[in-house]
Amino acid sequence: MTYYSLNHNAPKVSFREAVVNGLAPDKGLYFPSEIKRLPTTFFEKIEDLDPVTIAFEAIKQFVGDDIPENDLKEIVREVLSFDFPVKEVEEGIHVLELYHGPTLAFKDVGARFMARCLGYFNKNKETQEKVTVLVATSGDTGGAVANGFYEVGGVEVVILYPSGKVSEIQEKQLTTLGKNISAIEVDGTFDDCQAMVKKAFLDSEFEGKRTLTSANSINVARWLPQMFYYFFAYRKLKSEGKKVVFSVPSGNFGNICAGMMAQKLGLPVHHFVTGTNANKIVPDYLKTGEYLTQPSVATISNAMDVGAPSNFVRIQQIYNNDLEVLRSQLTGYSYSDDETREALQHLYQNHNYIADPHGAIGYLALKEYLKDDKESVGVFLETAHPVKFLDVIPKNIVDEIQLPDVVKSLLPKEKKAEKISTYQELKSWLLTN
């Protein structure tokens, strides 16, 4: 399998190079040159297949010869060592809970898959040639990357996060692992962290001293394994004998874009719905036909505070850059923080379900879409555990949230982070540690 750059100005590369490079040299996102549908028999008997087999069959063609099948299957097995339950919340509406991984967010699957691929590619290298994954986080990404790469040989991870701007649980997830994971607490905002990371990638003084790479969501190894969720949910809902609609709360649109790849592989998805917060570039585009990126706005669903969704170019490519085709497959809605809080209350009081603010937006969007579609069964993706957002969930609900075991064992652990405020400090830390 080869990948080309969506900016069309860089050489085609293998899966391995796409993973190692992250972004193409022309700054374009990598996209697979060819997408082969899975045989119809695969979908006819999907309920008889276990999740590891399904995932392996789905990802195989995208990895190609770069990882032998037995090793790839082992990677998939390790990545998927937790559950992806589908629960009925009310008639015709299901939730797909993606938060049962080690850091309680759906990003665990992509981060773990990418970590294991990089680890595999580094395995046979001279051991001195360590790579350093440098990543800025506003919360969920850092924890998933830290955990995914923990103890992966040949890879050091350095995570920058804005001091005082991530939740206590998120901070503990970043700062208590140790070993090959280092946390840098930046006196500044997420944007400051991001700017420092970008500067480091362009800084030639690291040459020969540290090989820097990124683990952000545009990497094909983080993006593609998110396809698995859609296969798993379809497998559970198939017996209802109805068309299936997926509603995905979105920020960078990587998750939903992976669902669209699953559809390309032949997964019978009737329609996609996306819910956003006030950062509503895509819903506006679907309405007006004008794609206007914006500076991001802060909301209570902060993992979706994205004003320039990086994966949207991939979605355009999947639907041949044809707005009418896209509209026939995707409907978008946006919601305010007040509407999100109301949805949290509604779900809790009427359906005894505790959602997080991101999942609540997925629920709202699904309800709105299904008003005009009575034939389908809907599933919304619950992208993080509510315990990660205690500071923004209404108090009466917070009191009912039970701490998962992984959180209980995390809280007493000691935080270790290097405090910095300038790029120069980051640089000297990277050059001396």
Ligand X SMILES: *Cc1c(COP(=O)(O)O)cnc(C)c1O
- Kindly determine how many residues on this chain lie close enough to bind ligand X according to the rule CB under 6 A: 16
Q: Does 386 bind ligand X (CB under 6 A)?
A: no
Candidates 303, 326, 366, 420; binder of ligand X (CB under 6 A) is 303
Neighbours of 22 (CB within 10 A): 20
136 token code pair: 């800025």
* Rounded CA separation 230/227 (Å): 6
Site for ligand X in 44-103 (CB under 6 A): none
Verify whether residue 374 is a known catalytic residue: no
Give the Å distances, CA to CA, from 156 to 21, 144, 150, 214, 222.
Answer: 16, 15, 9, 11, 18
Q: C-beta of 383: minimal distance to ligand X in Å?
A: 3
Residue 358 interacts with ligand X (CB under 6 A): yes or no: yes
Tokens for 242, please give them: 């109805």
Of 15-23, 24-32, 59-67, 251-259: span binding ligand X (CB under 6 A) = 251-259
What 8-state DSSP symbol labels residue 139? S
**Marked catalytic residue, from 36, 60, 73, 107:** 107
The residue from 304, 313, 344, 397 that contacts ligand X (CB under 6 A) is 304
What would the x/- binding string for ligand X be over residues 133 to 172, using CB under 6 A? -------x--------------------------------
Q: Strand, helix or coil at 202?
A: helix
Q: Does 221 bind ligand X (CB under 6 A)?
A: no
Q: Which is nearer to ligand X, 42 or 369 (CB)?
A: 369
Contact flag: residue 259 with ligand X (CB under 6 A): no
Site for ligand X in 105-134 (CB under 6 A): 105, 107
How far is the C-alpha of 344 from the C-alpha of 347, rounded, in Å? 5
- Classify residue 411 by burial, with Cβ atoms within 10 Å: 0-12, 13-18, 19+: exposed
Residues 356 and 409 sit within 8 Å (Cβ to Cβ) = no
The least CB distance from residue 159 to ligand X, in Å, is: 15
Q: How far is the CB of 389 from ligand X (least distance, A)?
A: 8
b (16+ CB within 10 A) / e for 161-181: bbbebbbebbbbbbbbbeebb
Q: Judged by CB under 6 A, does residue 296 bind ligand X?
A: no
Residues with catalytic function:
107
* Contacts with ligand X, residue ranges (CB under 6 A): 105, 107, 140, 217, 249-255, 303-304, 358, 383-384
